[in-house]
Structure 1
Amino acid sequence: MKNLGNQREPPPSRRAFLRYSAAALASPWLLRGLPVQAASGPGKVAPSPPTTPWLDELPPLRRLLPLNLDDFDPAPTLDANNHGGRGPEAGRNRHQRYEAITAQFGISYYEMHARQGLWQFHSEYPPQPIWGYCTRDARRGLIEPPSIPGPLFIARYGKPAMCRIYNDLPATASDGIGTPEISTHLHNLHSPSESDGFPGDYYSAGKSGPTLGGPGSFKDHFYPNLYAGYGQYPPLGDPREALGTLWYHDHCLDFTAPNTYKGLFGLYLLYDDLDSGDESTGLRLPSGDYDYPLTFIDRRFDASGRLVFDQFNPEGTLGDKVVVNGKIEPYLRVKARKYRFRLLDAGPPRFYSFVIADAGGRQLLPFDLIANDGNLLPKPLRQQTSVSIATAERADIVVDFKGFEGRELYLFNRLRQTSTRLPDDLEIPGTPVLKFIVGASAPDFSQVPDTLRELPPISAAELKRAKVRRWVFARKGGMWTINDQLVDVTQPRAIIPQGSGEIWELVNPGGGWQHPIHIHFEEGQILEKRLGNKVVPIPPRQQGRKDVYLLEENTTLRLFMRFRDFDGKYVMHCHNMIHEDHAMMLRWDIQKV
């Protein structure tokens, strides 16, 4: 696909500087004219002020509201309105396969705004400025204030969507955290490149990234909401490739961690006839009010209760407060029946291992693990008592509160972590981060069947003809690298023929860190896991389809992926956002044949 136009910000010079001098760490922020926040080493950050637990109830999640076509001015177009910087839309590429898909399935319209607003993380902390996503209510003629997480996007397979995302952020970050350009990535929808939120496609009204054709106040994102392989399996694609729990977040080059840290993320739930969102059809999983996302972020606050983050240090800032759906140590009222909780680690660097227990943390409540990284497993993992997630990983669990009427239970994090590089060890009972207050029983027509979603098969012939690529995630010159190189979003490191399948080897040679590796666009299946030179069993939870692959120390993962339906530029990166922002990312392209 072509690069568009000339009205763009020159490619950041940061990467060249970094090869020669650590003193250049601040160069991109200085070049963009952003206020510089004083750097501080990980050991120099003061602890957050203490908070009284269980004062704040979790607020309800806002829904993204659909709009009518006549609510948009200007109307969405196949090509960007301003190729070469001549209009209000940022200079994206032409929407791929849009006409054919919408002619068959139609399309719905949505609008989000990235804005600054006030948010209170805890009733003992002051309201403070955040950056977050919000929705426009055309019926009331207003834009809702931003929230953490952003508005909940509910979608269905076979129902394509156009989402216009405005950048209404202020021209500068007054607290020195983040940059006011955005590129929104919907992780990990099977979407065309121009709507993927590529890091170099960042935009604002006055600036655009090196891979975008020009600045603009908004960018239209086309989300087909079709299964991968829909060219081979008409009309919707291969239902074995379905995703369910997705999330969106800012992916601006060099600033994913601070921009997400300030609140630019949210949930996107995708249903089909099997995972129906209805307790009377399909799998009949817990649905409606009993299908509840829980997002976890680690944050650190200064003595006045305001966010702090060191975006210049390659070690970043480790938060010491776990924030659940935007609140510190909140409580959630539940009925005495089954719930589906969709757990998301939204980063930036903290890992979690969760249990549900009594106040002492020792009487554990078992649950069924049904999905990993947004993908239903072939069969539920029954009677689990703990679930671990790394940054950007998701896990769907079904918890039955029946028999606990009038009780209080707690979600504990048992994974201790003192560095942004990796977790330390398990501690018992751990730290309670959420209280469940169990009320009266409620009608429950849900179930967790013994079979969930079949895996797409991988043939021996596919494996035999698959190209093998090896990617080593390590550290060089104080920066995070892939195959000893820093990121350059203007140059692909791999060009993959559309329609092919490949085996990728992801390698972490050690050194005292772990890397949750995210590959955009396509799900993969792990073929083999090695610790050192020894092949070890793949954990049951990781035997499904994945889009985040946790590379522990001295580990190699071999995985198989197919590259279908669209062409263009995508990325692979460590989803420890601090590592990503400090160069552990590469571009790869799908090339039409």
Structure 2
Amino acid sequence: METASAGTPDPSFLKRRTLLRGGALAGLGALVPAYTVLAAPDAPGAGTGGAEPSADGLMLTKFKDPLRIPPVLRPVARGGHDELTVRMRTADVRVHSELPPVPMWTYEGSHPGPTVEAVRGRRLRVAWENHLTGSIPVTAVDFGRPGGPSPDPLTNYPGTEGCQEVPGVAGLQPWAAVHLHGMLTGGGNDGWMENLTGPGDVQLSAYPNDQPATTLWYHDHTHHVSRFSVYAGLAGLFVCRDEEERALGLPRGRHEVPLVLADRNFALDDSGALTGRLVHKVEMVGTKLMRVHAAPYTLVNGVIWPYLEVEPRWYRFRIVNTANSRIYRLMLLADGRPVPGAFHVIGTDQGLIDKPLPVDGALNLSSGERADVLVDFSAFRGRSLKLVNTMDGVPPGASSPRNDLLEPDVMQFRVAGRGSAGRFTPPAVLSSTFERPTHHDLPHDSAPRWVVLAGPGSANMPELWEMEEVPESEAAGLTLPAAGIVQVEDAAGSVTTLRRTAMGYDDGRAFTVAHGGTEIWKYLNLAASPHPMHIHLAHFHVLSRETYDVTGFDRTVRGSARPVAYLGAAELEPHERGVKDVVRVGTAGQIRPGPNGTPGELVTVAVRFPVVGRGVHHCHMLEHEQHMTRPLVVAPAGPGHAGGHAEGHAEGHH
């Protein structure tokens, strides 16, 4: 986050405790449904990997439990459309064989929820039934205190010792609003975050389902509460298929595997044993969130540090980051060394790209982002590989407690020593209909939208500013620095003056855009930490990523004393070259201490608005949603909306 961790007690008290395993557990098959059974082999496989101890203080064994594949839900045909019912239920979920069952709010009793699989062109109606019970099964605590940065913050460890409970969370009742993230549907079906359903009620949503084959995900979007409700377990995948994808002959069945990434933390009992109670632990200043959530236990498909037995052949992985805020900077390691070009990206948030693109270095996924990748295990017969989370400047696979990366391992792959590699070869052409926008495809008759991401101000929270361009004649008379005024000097030396028009969610004024139009949005990050930006009711192409010198921004006055200035162009990553609905603005895996410790970034996107209604645009770090969210209205083109840049005024909340 923007400010470094406050000083905290040395967590050695955790290391001195007896590392209990959570008590003797009964046979798992009797406790959970068949699809959630976790085997627990204690002996390593013959040369193909095995269980390992986790970092000191984390107590659980790595790679002891197999990866779980979420169950699949397929809609039922009802004439010209399909229908489906999904129930939200409170359930005890087994996430590790050495940990007691974890009370969660779930979709259909599992975490992640079942994968909804649909076919493009079949309109879908979903009844999201709320059967949740009790208050939220999460203990929220704050470990913030004065004293300066800690080299080993309490986020790295389980338990709540040294923390204070966050008031108002324990009693949260099971209200819900389901958002199918990435589905291009109108505002009335998008899961508006204040249109809540309570126990016994149902949210009825109709989805056009008329977009290319891809991986979406559904999750709770309750206003001000999503950071706790998603953490409690309310997330699942949605897979759309079409004829174009099917004709490619991509790996299917057991060779097509979802990898749903998340991080969690847990409480300890008086003896120091893990209890299975979810703990949301952040550093706070006063009542405002400062340090975004990071937890030491990585879950893949709801299992902590699982393993997957694979054949020596090509696999397809649909990787989804559902963590509250953590950026996963993924690498595949063999014998402790990165495998060059291990990931071949074939799809992004909104579908297949034109051709496979190898990843040079890490695959960076911020909260809400998805990547569709191919991996070839044929060169690793009889060996094991690790998927790890990394930090820039830290050797891949190494721990970095200061950066909330005490345990970098994500999961293990155990490659069989025998078996055919098959005859699959990645297609040279994936989607013949995919096109990157050219200069002629972009609007040139209107000014771009500007969104500035600023670090914490007087209210001790990061801020999202909507901006408007100031005419040169007016800008010449300004005295700088001035609050809410930012000047930007581009690569050609031209200076644009921007004035803040809105910041708080309830400021009233809203971006109003024309249905069917295309706009250029420019995200300028003046803060030290990255922000994943998500736009509802839309999808976009990332046009460019550029670095900027932002030391001219006066963090106290909240305006630029001198223009923030262009430094250079940065490469788009392979998973950023397709159609998206989330984009990271800021450098992944690299947060330096001190004011403006990292260069700023300007990310430019071309946004299309194919559906109408009221939605939002926001930072997808869930700890930021409460104060980095702004309303958005997509209206039918016509009088008052011509050109897509008319400004509307919010008349209350839906």
Would you call these one fold, judging by a TM-score over 0.5? yes
Aligned twin of 1:320? 296
2:608 to 555, 558, 562: 562
Q: C-alpha distance in 2, partners of 1:200/1:299?
A: 26
Q: Secondary structure at the match of 2:516?
A: coil
User: Matched residue of 1:434: which SS?
Assistant: strand
Query: 1:223 is matched with which residue?
Result: 207
- The corresponding residue for 1:140 is none
Q: Residue 296 of structure 1 corresponds to which residue in structure 2?
A: 261
How big is the shift at 1:49?
A: 3.4
1:509 and 2:560 matched: no
5 Å-filtered alignment, 1:116-515, equals 116-134=90-108, 146-173=109-136, 175=138, 176=169, 179-205=173-199, 217-227=201-211, 242-276=212-246, 282-303=247-268, 304-305=274-275, 306-310=277-281, 314=289, 315-362=291-338, 366-382=342-358, 384=360, 386-415=362-391, 425-430=393-398, 431-439=408-416, 440-442=418-420, 444-453=422-431, 454-455=434-435, 457-458=437-438, 460=440, 462-474=442-454, 475-476=456-457, 477-483=459-465, 485-488=502-505, 491=508, 493-510=510-527, 512-515=528-531
Aligned to 1:194, what secondary structure does the other structure show?
helix
- Give secondary structure in 1 for the equivalent of 2:75: coil
Give the deviation of 1:65 after TM superposition.
Answer: 4.1
Give, as a single letter, the amino acid of the residue that structure 1 aligns with 2:633: D
Q: Deviations over 1:401-434 (max 9, x none)?
A: 124333222112123xxxxxxxx64433342221
1:24-77 C-alpha deviation (Å, 9 max, x unpaired): xxxxxxxxxxxxxxxx979579676321111111123201143466xxxxxxxx
Instruction: Give the conservation status (yes or no) of the 8 Å contact 2:544–2:572.
Output: no
What secondary structure is seen at the aligned counterpart in 2 of 1:339? strand
User: Partner of 1:545 in structure 2?
Assistant: 579
Q: C-alpha displacement at 1:329, in angstroms?
A: 1.3
Counterpart-to-counterpart distance in 2, 1:267 and 1:65: 12
Answer whether contact 1:492 1:586 (CA < 8 A) is retained. Answer: no
**Are 1:112 and 2:86 an aligned pair?**
yes
1:249-290 CA distances to partner (integer Å, 9 max, x unpaired)? 1111011111111111011111111112xxxxx222212221
| Distance across 1 between alignment mates of 2:239 and 2:8 | 38
Matched to 1:584, the amino acid is M
Aligned partners of 1:517 and 1:357: how far apart in 2? 30
Task: Give the stretch that moved more between structures: 148-157 or 172-181.
Answer: 172-181
Unpaired segments of 5 or more residues in structure 1?
1-39, 70-101, 135-145, 206-215, 228-241, 277-281, 416-423
Task: Percent identity, please.
Answer: 28
The answer as to whether partners of 2:182 and 2:349 remain within 8 angstroms in 1 is: no
CA distance in 1, matches of 2:128, 2:334: 43
SS at match of 1:152: strand
- One-letter code of the match for 2:209? N
Distance 1:162 1:490 in 2: 34
TM-score where L is the length of structure 2: 0.67
- For residues 414 and 379 of structure 1, what CA distance do their matches in structure 2 show? 27
Instruction: Tell me the distance in 1 between the aligned counterparts of 2:206 and 2:236.
Output: 17
Cα separation, 2, equivalents of 1:203 and 1:489:
22
CA contact (8 A) 1:404 1:438 kept: yes
Deviations 1:369-403 (A, max 9, x none): 22222432222113745312111111121111124
Matched-pair contact (CA < 8 Å) for 1:284–1:445 = no
Secondary structure of the corresponding residue to residue 493 of structure 1: strand
Alpha-carbon distance in structure 1 between the residues aligned to 2:99 and 2:60: 8
| Mapped partners of 2:411, 2:195: distance in 1 | 37
Q: What stretches of structure 2 of length at least 5 have no aligned partner?
A: 15-56, 139-168, 269-273, 399-407, 466-499, 549-565, 587-598, 638-654
Q: Secondary structure at the match of 2:373?
A: strand
Give the partner amino acid of 1:412.
V
Change (3 A) 1:457 1:351: closer
Q: In the alignment, which of 57, 60, 68 is matched to residue 66 of structure 2?
A: 57
Q: Does the Cα contact within 8 Å between 1:368 and 1:384 map onto a contact in 2?
A: no
Q: Report the Cα distance in structure 1 between the residues aligned to 2:177 and 2:7, rounded to whole angstroms.
A: 28
For 2:600, give the aligned amino acid: N
Query: AA paired with 2:414?
Result: I
539-548 or 245-254, which moves further after superposition? 539-548
Decide whether aligned partners of structure 1 residues 407 and 486 sit closer, same or farther in structure 2, where only a CA change above 3 A counts: same
3-state DSSP class of the match of 1:200? coil
Could you say what secondary structure the match of 1:479 adopts?
A: coil
Q: Which amino acid aligns with 1:561?
A: V
Please list, as runs of the form range in 1=range in 2, the aligned pairs for 1:82-97 lying within 5 A after superposition.
Answer: none
CA distance in 2 between counterparts of 1:505 and 1:297 reads: 29
Shift in Å, 1:526: 2.2
Q: 1:534 to 1:490 in 2, by over 3 A?
A: closer
Residue 623 of structure 2: SS of its match in structure 1?
Answer: helix
SS of residue in 1 equivalent to 2:624:
helix
Counterpart-to-counterpart distance in 1, 2:9 and 2:324: 19
8 Å Cα contact 1:67/1:111 also seen in 2:
no
Range with bigger deviation, 267-276 or 41-50:
41-50
What is the alpha-carbon distance in structure 2 between the residues aligned to residue 339 and residue 363 of structure 1?
15
User: Residue in 2 aligned with 1:573?
Assistant: 618
Going from structure 1 to structure 2, the CA distance change for 1:442 and 1:486 (only over 3 Å counts) comes to farther
Q: How far off is 1:243 after superposition?
A: 4.8
User: In 2, distance between residues paired with 1:44 and 1:66?
Assistant: 52
In structure 1, what is the Cα distance between the partners aligned to 2:448 and 2:382?
56
User: Given the two structures, how large is their TM-score scaled by the length of structure 1?
Assistant: 0.74
Distance in 1 (CA, whole Å) between partners of 2:320 and 2:390 is 16
Deviation at 1:540, TM superposition (A): 4.3
Q: Distance in 2 between matches of 1:562 and 1:251?
A: 23
What CA distance in whole angstroms lies between the structure 1 residues aligned with 2:346 and 2:90? 36
